Amino acid sequence: ATQRHLEEAMSQDDQLSLFFQPQVHARTNQVVGVEVLIRWRRLGEWISPAVFIPIAEDSGQIIELGRWIIDRTLSQVADWRARNIEVGKVSINISAVQLSNSEVAYELLNALKHYNVPSEVIAIEFTETTLMVRSAQLARNLAMLRANNISIAIDDFGTGYCSLSYLKELEANYLKIDQSFVRGIGDIESDECIVSATIAMAKGLNMEVIAEGVEIEYQAQYLAEHGCDYLQGYGFARPMPAADLEVWLEQRK
């Protein structure tokens, strides 16, 4: 995958698509939201976002790609709302580059207006690492998101370098426990310790907790027992296209 291939994909509109992974309430297993995850299929091959997002960040294409993701997401959300399909909170991943070098909050608000979607429906996810360079632009974007009731989620928590004092100051709505810790539940004592301590800390700071990468029943049980609010992972559903998500939601009723 190269910059030029990505350029081509963004202009053609048939290689890139959005997948959605459900998030469920830890105690009731009711669907509370979905995370939006981009997918790229080029010449019959899937290219992982773990590969092409960093390329797009280095080339600056992430700004345009990020706009495309926001526009497509809100278009999809508007369609679901028109058809009375309830998916809950919709979480969009925003790259550090986009948050620190573009008017992403302003653009998101414009898109919400354009598609007539209330801001309360949307959460944005960014990693701890995003917070390392504290630019004025980043601060402006975060302030504008907060002022307009767009939820903020810290992704991959525990794998980056966010100081606890900044975490406190940030007043994020959600903390997402990274899947590397969730994987160790029932197996690695230090991972369980990190998970339970993270949940307790997040609660103390008034954040709700989402566990990622929940694959087996024991993990779900442990997380619920330790006060984790929401669960996400292959144990419930893989990320899937909108049409598949609609079928999945219908079957759970």
Q: Which residues bind ligand G (CB under 6 A)?
A: 21, 36-38, 48-50, 53, 69, 93-95, 155-156, 179, 212-213, 215, 233-234, 239
- Determine the size of the site formed for Mn ion (CB under 5 A): 3
Cβ proximity to ligand G: between 50 and 243 the closer is 50
CB of 235 to Mn ion, least distance (A): 17
153 binds, among Na ion, ligand G, Mn ion, none (CB under 5 to 8 A by kind): none
The Cβ of residue 183 has, within 10 Å, a number of other Cβ atoms equal to 18
Residue with smaller CB distance to ligand G, 21 or 112: 21
- 53 interacts with, out of Na ion, Mn ion, ligand G, none, CB within 5 to 8 A per kind: ligand G
Whole-number Å distance between alpha carbons of 53 and 94: 11
CB of 8 to Na ion, least distance (A): 28
Instruction: Annotate 97-132 with b (16+ C-beta within 10 A) or e (fewer).
Output: bbbbbbebbebbbebbeebebeeebbbbbbbbebbe
Choose, by CB under 5 A, the member of 33, 92, 122, 125 that binds Mn ion.
125
**How far from 110 is each of 10, 74, 77, 89, CA to CA, in Å?**
21, 11, 15, 19
User: In the structure encoding, which two tokens stand for residue 210, read together?
Assistant: 């989402």
Which of Na ion, Mn ion, ligand G, none does 24 bind, CB closer than 5 to 8 A by kind?
none
User: Which residues fall within 8 angstroms of residue 46, CB to CB, at 6 or more apart?
Assistant: 39, 40
Least gap, CB of 35 to Mn ion (angstroms): 6
Which of 48, 76, 64 has its CA nearest to residue 11?
Answer: 64
Question: Segment near Mn ion (CB under 5 A), from 95-103, 119-127, 142-150, 243-251?
Answer: 119-127
Q: Which of residues 131-170 bind Mn ion (CB under 5 A)?
A: 155
Can residue 191 be called a binding residue for Mn ion (CB under 5 A)?
no
- Binding to Na ion by residue 244, rule CB under 5 A? no
- For the chain, the farthest-separated pair of C-alpha atoms sits apart, in whole angstroms, at 49
Q: Least Å distance between CB 39 and ligand G?
A: 7
220: Cβ–Cβ under 8 A, 6 or more apart, which residues? 26, 214, 231, 235
Residue 33 binding result from Na ion, ligand G, Mn ion, none, given CB thresholds of 5 to 8 Å by partner type: none
Q: Which is nearer to Na ion, 156 or 246 (CB)?
A: 156
* Contacts of 14 by beta carbon, 8 Å cutoff, 6+ apart: none
Q: Using the minimum distance from each CB to ligand G, give the nearer residue, 192 or 204.
A: 192
3-state helix, strand and coil shares in percent for the chain, rounded to the nearest 5: 50, 20, 30
The contact set with Mn ion (CB under 5 A) reads: 93, 125, 155
Q: Interface with Na ion by CB under 5 A: which residues?
A: 155-156, 212
